[in-house]
Amino acid sequence: MEEHMDTPYRRLVVSIDMQRYSRRRNVEQFHAQQRFRRVMTESVEAIGLDHAQWTTQQGGDSELAILPAETPEPLLVGRLPVLLDEKLRDINRELRPESRIRLRMAVHEGLVHLDGPNGFPSDAVIQTCRLCDADAVKQALDRFPDANVALVVSDSIHRDIVVQEYEAIRADRFHRIVVHNKEYTGEAWLHVLGEVVACVPLDAAAAAVQATEAPVQRSAETSAASKYSFGPMANHGPTAIGDNANAYIRPTELP
């Protein structure tokens, strides 16, 4: 199908960014870019997709990609993060901690103008970049120093793919966050590969996110135990994650 300028097309949007890239010296950045490109190309091809067919906007430490219309979304969401994690584990095992490649990956979908004079005009693209750059996602990698990939997906991707558990996705490994990043505010779902992120605030933290959701009712059984854990860290009471408390974990009942 011929694509026309000024006409938006519905596409899958992926943003991938290296953690702590700017703290590296010039030569280290060069080697990090080489490893990043190799891991991306090999991982995409390993799941049967053609990386050369992606419409990309490169950054030194990142890639923003608009995928072809025929891309199977469950395959990308369910398999690509797993392959990236596996390849990075092999690479990072031989590197000093400060040289390791650790990635934040965001996935969304929506209408995109493919012929913008300076990028891809699209609210979906902006949202994807905001999710990838969210403090909650960055800090998730900081909380788990052995993790290589933090995946964040939009609410629509979560509903259509994650909840359906396509490609052996574990829906219970994704945890809802509310992201406030610049002028963007929205819901997303976070998964740190290789880690069980238990976000279980038993207190009503709705005051922290009152701009986006209604207060959460506490039962007599849960109100007595106001506690949550995020990996190795355990706190008591409502909790905000992110600089200036700009991303929050939604209260979740214990089973």
What is the tens place of the pLDDT at every residue in 110-124?
A: 999 988 777 787 999
CA distances from 112 to 76, 122, 136, 137, 180 (A): 18, 5, 26, 24, 22
Contact at 8 Å (CB) between 120 and 111? no
How confident is the model at residue 199, as a pLDDT? Answer: 46
Neighbours of 233 (CB within 10 A): 9
Contact at 8 Å (CB) between 74 and 166? Answer: yes
- Identify whether the C-beta of residue 251 lies closer than 8 Å to the C-beta of residue 243: no
249: CB partners within 8 A, 6+ apart? 136, 175, 176, 177, 199, 201, 205, 228, 230, 239, 241
Query: What amino acid is encoded at 39 in this protein?
Result: V
Q: Give the pLDDT confidence of 41-93 residue by residue, as tens digits.
A: 999 999 999 999 999 988 878 999 999 999 999 999 999 999 999 999 999 99
What average pLDDT score do residues 122-150 get? 93
- Out of 101-110, 125-134, 200-209, which region has the weakest mean confidence (pLDDT)? 200-209
The per-residue pLDDT of the chain, averaged, comes to 79
The reported pLDDT for the residue numbered 121 is 78
CA pair distance 33, 24, nearest whole angstrom? 11
Of 224 and 57, the structure prediction assigns the larger pLDDT to 57
d(CA 138, CA 31): 22
Give percent of the chain with pLDDT exceeding 90: 58
Q: What does residue 184 show for φ and ψ, rounded to 5 degrees?
A: -95, 135
3-state secondary structure the chain: CCCCCCCEEEEEEEEEEECCHHHCCHHHHHHHHHHHHHHHHHHHHHCCCCHHHCEEEEECCEEEEECCCCCCHHHHHHHHHHHHHHHHHHHHCCCCHHHCCCEEEEEEEEEEECCECCECCCHHHHHHHHHHCCHHHHHHHHHCCCCCEEEEEEHHHHHHHHCCCHHHCCHHHCEEEEEEECCEEEEEEEEECCCCCCCCCCCCCHHHHCCCCCCCCCCHHHHCCCEEEECCEEEECCCEECHHHCEEECCCCCC
| Res 222 pLDDT > 80 | no
Can you tell me the distance from the alpha carbon of 7 to that of 173, in angstroms, rounded to the nearest whole number? 37
Q: Give the lowest-confidence range in 181-185, 190-194, 224-228.
A: 224-228
Whole-number Å distance between alpha carbons of 123 and 113: 10
